[in-house]
């Protein structure tokens, strides 16, 4: 198979984790005789510094012309601490999601048996947790207009908008995915307060009637944020809107033991982007300490969802499992090194996983 992959390492720890993911893809290509070519593009802070634009036209074109996009991380404290900045790195990613209409965000939450003790939650709570969050990615308060300041900057407005068709198309994805799993969808909203959530619940219920084999229930987001860490085993597929999905998936990463483990796929009709769910974590940039597993599993998702290469994605998953079973850990996964659990760097973890393929 011949594929062109747009690679956008981005900010912070992005470049070093993406290097490991590319290395893994190159190994897979070699073993299974595929030709993957990698085309690099600028995005985020690095793009602002070099071009003044967090998503340069050239990067957008590169993404449109590629078969899949691999993305690292975005953000910089310089902007986090400067609320008045008009141009912000995150705009690059948000614009890319919007321009490519990547409305489905798939975020699997899983537990590696070897890492059960990495979670601050009790082993009996996290064990066997395995669910997928389907997050709507191009609507809601992230993109609604007006978004502005009034009253000489002393009043701020954000707007959350959802249309029936936007809700229906993401609901269908959740129902379809649940059919390949345990046929159970929990839709999360705040329908006791928000109008968008009432339309959400109404539309999901209506769409759900076309999937009578799938069990559908609804939960308020505040309850869900408690249930996710209290009893995560109850979930199979979670369906939710953009902002709730953003918040709940960071919370859910605690089940896995580290946010450095979790990948995601952002998919539209024509394009797909794969990225770790974690951020740029600038403090660790260039230190060779970040966990590359989320990035490596993001390419596993690419092989699964974009290229449908079953043997290949399975071999990446197995290599990660084996490496963890051998006791190799990045810093985020262990409080203290022991005989059995050895702490290694980003590049070394990438090498171990690559060798296990």
Residues marked active site are found at 142, 190, 222, 246, 250
Asked whether position 236 contacts Mg ion by CB under 5 A, the answer is no
Q: Using alpha carbons, select from 111, 108, 110 the residue that is nearest to residue 135.
A: 108
Q: Which does 247 bind (CB under 5 to 8 A by kind): Mg ion, ligand IPM, none?
A: none
Dist CA 239 CA 232 (whole Å): 15
Which residue's beta carbon is nearest to the bound Mg ion?
A: 246
Strand partners of residue 27: none
Give the residue with the Cβ less far from ligand IPM, 246 or 312. Answer: 246
Pairing of β 104-110 and β 130-136: antiparallel
Q: Which does 93 bind (CB under 5 to 8 A by kind): Mg ion, ligand IPM, none?
A: ligand IPM
Residues engaged in binding ligand IPM (CB under 6 A): 74-75, 90, 93-94, 246, 277, 279
Which residue's beta carbon is nearest to the bound ligand IPM?
A: 90
Q: Which does 161 bind (CB under 5 to 8 A by kind): Mg ion, ligand IPM, none?
A: none
Contacts of 53-62 with C-beta under 8 Å, sequence gap 24+, read 53/87, 53/92, 54/87, 54/88, 54/89, 54/90, 54/91, 54/92, 54/95, 55/91, 55/92, 55/93, 55/95, 55/96, 55/99, 59/6, 59/8, 59/92, 59/96, 60/95, 60/96, 60/99, 62/6
Q: Which listed range, 58-66, 86-94, 239-247, 267-275, lies at the site for Mg ion (CB under 5 A)?
A: 239-247
3-state DSSP helix/strand/coil percent for the chain, to nearest 5? 45, 20, 30
Q: Write the burial class of residue 209 (CB in 10 Å: 0-12 exposed, 13-18 middle, 19+ buried).
A: exposed
Give the residue with the Cβ less far from ligand IPM, 56 or 263. Answer: 263
Tell which one of 189, 246, 275, 341 touches Mg ion (CB under 5 A): 246
- The answer to whether 15 and 348 have CB atoms below 8 angstroms apart is no
Q: Which does 90 bind (CB under 5 to 8 A by kind): Mg ion, ligand IPM, none?
A: ligand IPM
Question: What is the smallest separation between the CB atom of 43 and ligand IPM, expressed in angstroms?
Answer: 11
Give the residue with the Cβ less far from Mg ion, 259 or 334. Answer: 259
Tokens of 195: 């109008």
Question: What is the smallest separation between the CB atom of 274 and ligand IPM, expressed in angstroms?
Answer: 12
Question: What is the smallest separation between the CB atom of 141 and ligand IPM, expressed in angstroms?
Answer: 11
Give the residue with the Cβ less far from ligand IPM, 89 or 208. Answer: 89
Question: What is the smallest separation between the CB atom of 58 and ligand IPM, expressed in angstroms?
Answer: 21
- The answer to whether 266 and 107 have CB atoms below 8 angstroms apart is no
Query: Residues touching Mg ion: how many (CB under 5 A)?
Result: 1
Question: What is the smallest separation between the CB atom of 71 and Mg ion, expressed in angstroms?
Answer: 13
Give the residue with the Cβ less far from Mg ion, 189 or 246. Answer: 246
Give the residue with the Cβ less far from ligand IPM, 236 or 246. Answer: 246
Chain CA centroid to CA 293, Å: 12
Q: Using alpha carbons, select from 317, 291, 300 the residue that is nearest to residue 265.
A: 300
Q: Contact residues for Mg ion (CB under 5 A)? A: 246
């Amino acid at each position: 198979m011949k594929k062109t992959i747009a690679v956008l390492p981005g900010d912070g720890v992005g470049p070093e984790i993406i290097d490991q993911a590319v290395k893994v893809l190159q190994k897979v290509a070699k073993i299974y005789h595929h030709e993957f070519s990698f085309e690099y593009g600028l995005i985020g802070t690095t793009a602002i510094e070099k071009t003044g634009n967090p998503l340069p036209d050239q990067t957008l074109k590169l993404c449109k012309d590629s078969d899949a996009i691999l993305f690292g991380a975005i953000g910089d404290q310089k902007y986090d601490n400067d609320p008045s900045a008009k141009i912000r790195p995150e705009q690059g990613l948000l614009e890319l999601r919007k321009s490519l209409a990547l409305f489905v965000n798939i975020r699997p939450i899983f537990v590696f048996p070897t890492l059960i003790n990495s979670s601050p939650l009790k082993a009996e709570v996290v064990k066997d947790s395995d669910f997928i969050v389907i997050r709507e990615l191009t609507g809601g308060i992230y993109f609604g207009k007006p978004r502005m300041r009034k009253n000489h900057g002393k009043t701020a407005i954000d707007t959350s908008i959802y249309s029936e068709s936007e809700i229906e198309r993401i609901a269908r994805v959740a129902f379809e995915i649940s059919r390949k799993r345990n046929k159970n969808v929990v839709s999360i909203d705040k329908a006791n307060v928000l109008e968008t959530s009432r339309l959400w619940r109404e539309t999901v219920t209506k769409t759900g009637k076309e999937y009578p084999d799938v069990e559908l229930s609804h939960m308020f987001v505040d309850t869900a944020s408690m249930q996710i860490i209290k009893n995560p085993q109850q979930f199979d597929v979670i369906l939710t809107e953009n902002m709730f999905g953003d918040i709940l998936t960071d919370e859910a990463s605690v089940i896995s033991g580290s946010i450095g483990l979790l990948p995601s796929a952002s998919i539209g009709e024509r394009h797909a982007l794969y990225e770790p769910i974690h951020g740029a974590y600038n403090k660790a940039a260039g230190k060779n300490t970040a966990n590359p597993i989320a990035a490596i599993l993001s390419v596993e998702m690419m092989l699964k969802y974009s290229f449908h290469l079953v043997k290949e994605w399975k071999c990446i998953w197995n290599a990660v499992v084996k490496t963890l079973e051998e006791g190799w850990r990045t810093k985020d996964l262990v409080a203290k090194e022991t005989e059995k659990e050895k702490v290694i760097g980003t590049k070394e973890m990438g090498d171990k996983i690559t060798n296990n393929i």
